[in-house]
Amino acid sequence: MIMTTLQKIEFILISIAAAAFCILTVILSVRLRRERRESAKRIKALEKEVRFDYLTGALSRKAFVSEMETALAQSGTGVLIAFDINGFKSVNEMFGHAAGDGLIKRYAAKLLKEFGKDIVGRFEGDNFLVFIDSRITKEDLNSRIKRSGAARFSDKPTKLMISSCCGAAFAPENGTTFDDLFTNADKALYHSKQNDRTISYCQLSGDN
């Protein structure tokens, strides 16, 4: 069958349209995959932003509570430690908030270095929480806190001697939920501050 000139033209146009459609499909597919990858990266970045404290790299308050509750439900034991920098307000007043932020970052780095394999979170301001989801003696806990260097250290940028105190609550002896353990750890922290602002050991809630 001999194709007429018009049929040939129609065939060519249909072929061109089909090829263009295939090319467009490939382009759209590639663009869609790229947009999905970029969207996944944005979502991951947002999740990281929500999960971690922007200043210190420690877990955010919400993420810490979630991880601690999960660990506590699995092990049923552990210790929650509340840390607080002594006189932090004075540092902000003397050197400004930027210097205060710098001190918080350096303080957090000490906690993360020693307790990085445990659960470390920034609760608020200069308050940090650490949860160790295993049995640990008071002596070993005190040793780890001292080893971290967070209890008392010379801060070169501000040229100040920085001290902090902490309070600890054990599970299940002092509670079996985050709320109970935090309440007792916070009471122990207050007890530590009232008795010695430069304390270098953990005041246990059971000893109050």
Q: What is the mean pLDDT of residues 104-124?
A: 96
**Predicted local distance difference test score (pLDDT) of residue 199:** 43
**Predicted local distance difference test score (pLDDT) of residue 183:** 92
Tell me the chain's radius of gyration from C-alpha atoms.
29
Instruction: Name the phi and psi angles at 169, rounded to 5.
Output: -135, 130
A 10 A CB-CB count for 200 gives 15
Domains in the chain: boundaries: 1-50, 61-207
* pLDDT greater than 50 at residue 205: no
Q: Which CATH architecture has domain 61-207?
A: 2-Layer Sandwich (3.30)
**Predicted local distance difference test score (pLDDT) of residue 170:** 92
Beta strands in 86-126 (DSSP E): 119-124
* pLDDT greater than 80 at residue 41: no
**Predicted local distance difference test score (pLDDT) of residue 63:** 95
**Predicted local distance difference test score (pLDDT) of residue 62:** 94
Q: List CB contacts of 83: < 8 A, sequence separation 6 or more.
A: 111, 127, 128, 129, 130, 150, 164, 165, 166, 189
User: Mean pLDDT for the chain?
Assistant: 85
**Pair 52, 63: CB distance under 8 Å:** yes
* pLDDT greater than 50 at residue 159: yes
User: Which of the residue ranges 13-22, 105-114, 128-137 would you say has the lowest mean pLDDT?
Assistant: 13-22
* pLDDT greater than 70 at residue 128: yes
